[in-house]
Homo-oligomer: A and B are copies of this chain.
Amino acid sequence: MDRQLPGDPRFFVRSGPFTLERLAEAAGLEVAGAAGAGSLFEGVAPLHAAGPQHVSFLDNRRYLPLLSETKAGAVILGPAFADKVPEGCVALVSREPYLAWSRVARLFHPLPPVEASRHPTAVIGRDVIIGERVEIGPFAVVGDGARIGDGCVIGAHAMLGSHVVLGNGCRIGAHVTLSHALLGERVILYPGARIGQDGFGFAVGPDGFESVPQLGRVILEDGVEVGANSTIDRGSMKDTVIGAGTRIDNLVQIGHNARLGRCCIVVSQAGVSGSTEIEDFVTIAAQAGLIGHIHVGRKARIGAQCGVMNDVEAGADVIGSPAMPFREFFRNIATLRRLSRR
Contact = CB atoms under 8 A, between A and B. Distances in A.
Contacts of A49: 238
A155 B198 CA distance: 15
Interface in A159-194: 159, 161-163, 173-175, 177, 179-180, 190-192, 194
A293 interface: yes
A177 to B, nearest CB: 4
A175 B200 contact: no
A109 interface: yes
A159 B162 contact: no
B339 A212 contact: no
A101 interface: yes
Contacts of A229: 192, 194, 229, 231, 251
Given A141-B157, A192-B229, 8 more contacts: A6-B237, A46-B238, A105-B213, A177-B191, A194-B228, A249-B253, A253-B269, A269-B289
21 contacts: A6-B237, A7-B215, A49-B238, A98-B203, A102-B202, A103-B210, A105-B212, A156-B159, A174-B177, A175-B177, A175-B192, A191-B197, A192-B231, A194-B228, A228-B233, A249-B253, A251-B271, A268-B273, A273-B286, A304-B309, A339-B339
A309 B305 CA distance: 11
Given A263-B209, A339-B339, A238 B6 contact: yes
Interface string A34-67: 0000000000111001000000010010100000
Given A44-B215, A203-B98, A289-B304, A244 B208 contact: yes
A139 B286 CA distance: 34
A237 B324 CA distance: 36
B44 A237 contact: yes
Quickly give the copy total for this chain: 3
B215 A231 contact: no
Contact of A238 (B2, B102, B238): B2
> Chain A: interface residue count, which band?
35 or more
Nearest to A236: B6
Interface in A112-151: 119, 121, 123, 137-139, 141, 145
B304 A307 contact: yes
Nearest to A262: B208
Given A2-B238, A213-B102, A335 B328 contact: no
Contacts of A157: 139, 141, 157, 159, 175
A20 B132 CA distance: 49
A210 B99 contact: yes
A96 B44 contact: no
Contacts of A244: 208
Interface string A239-250: 100001101011
Nearest to A180: B11
B175 A159 contact: yes
A331 B339 CA distance: 10
A178 to B, nearest CB: 9
